[in-house]
Amino acid sequence: MSKPIALITGATSGIGEATARCLAKDYRLIICGRRQDRLTKLEKELAEETEVTTLSFDVRDRLAAETAISGLPAKWQSVDVLINNAGNAHGLSAIQDGQVADWDAMIDINVKGLLYVSNAVIPGMVSRQKGHIINIGSVAGIEVYPKGNVYNASKYAVDAISKGMRQDLITEGIKVSEIKPGLVQTEFSAVRFKGDQERAEKVYVGFDPLQAQDIAETVAFILSRPAHVNIADMLVLAGAQASATMVHKKN
């Protein structure tokens, strides 16, 4: 029997890329992101372990998301697992100093993009009465922190959408889980600070942050539970992190 299929958004970096590596043993993979060069590289790397196909599209573009997913060849159409991971923070500014373009990006990618991809995948899961959706939320989706405003709002939305999906899809044989990571050392802060690498690195100084692999293993654990178990919601923090704003730094 062939392996089930997992579609992972944001697989060109960080949590999504680590998740692809982690799931390769047990799943065939549809890896998504805008940067085709990175997708091709990862596809080549994982090809020894599993079948991989790539989809390059911007999750903000509803038509592109729909076209890419509906255009998958027949053998890739039955998506068993959807990992809605693509997303980022753009900027860290008090609301009065915020850039409207950053707000648009966060709402369009983290919220609307997740919905567009889900909308393209859920009908197939419903028709098969089978599936598992894992949304990557954040500790930022349960605690607002200073200057987080719109990023927080986008992750609160992911939390609400995850809860809503779980209620609506319960009758359709589809599990919905949400993982809420704390500080994970990925390209996240470099994106938030628009390429300012020095500022990005400072976020993770003085403590051992989570690594993308930690969240990838959490995804794999949730998926490995038997059919009668759904891990609905997991907050995963670094050992030195007690809340969105409290991190015990050594210097």
- Show which residues are catalytic: 151
- Structural contact between residues 13 and 38, judged by C-beta atoms closer than 8 angstroms: yes
Interacting residues of 116 by C-beta distance below 8 A, sequence separation 6+: 59, 60, 61, 62, 65, 66
Contact segment (CB under 6 A) with ligand 8X3 among 31-39, 59-67, 126-134, 136-144 equals 136-144
Selection from ligand NDP, ligand 8X3, none that 244 binds (CB < 5 to 8 A by kind) is ligand 8X3
The contact pattern for ligand 8X3, residues 152-191, with x = CB under 6 A and - = no contact, is: -------------------------------x--------
- Interface with ligand NDP includes 148 (CB under 6 A)? no
Residue 170 and residue 150: Cα distance in Å, rounded? Answer: 30
Mapped onto helix, strand or coil, the DSSP state of residue 235 is strand
When asked if residue 140 is in the footprint of ligand 8X3 (CB under 6 A), the reply is yes
Taking CB atoms within 8 Å and a gap of at least 24, the contacts of 160-167 are 161/111, 161/114, 161/115, 161/135, 162/135, 162/137, 162/233, 165/118, 165/133, 165/135, 166/230, 166/232
- Please report whether residue 91 would count as binding ligand NDP according to CB under 6 A: no
CB of 130 to ligand NDP, least distance (A): 25
What is the number of the residue whose Cβ is closest to ligand NDP?
Answer: 14
In this chain, which of 20, 31, 46, 59 binds ligand NDP, going by CB under 6 A?
59
Interface residue with ligand 8X3 among 19, 54, 84, 138 (CB under 6 A) is 138
Among residues 87, 91, 131, 148, which is the contact residue for ligand NDP, using CB under 6 A?
87
Distance (Å) of CA 27 to CA 70, 84, 132, 170, 179: 20, 16, 13, 23, 20
Residue 138 or 162 having the CB closest to ligand 8X3? 138
Closest contact distance (angstroms) between CB of 166 and ligand 8X3 is: 21
Structure tokens at 104: 């648009």
- Least Å from the CB of residue 64 to ligand NDP: 9
Instruction: Tell me the closest approach of the beta carbon of residue 11 to ligand 8X3, in angstroms.
Output: 18
The answer to whether the CB of 179 falls within 8 A of the CB of 136 is yes
Q: Can you give the binding site for ligand 8X3, defined by CB under 6 A?
A: 138-140, 183, 244
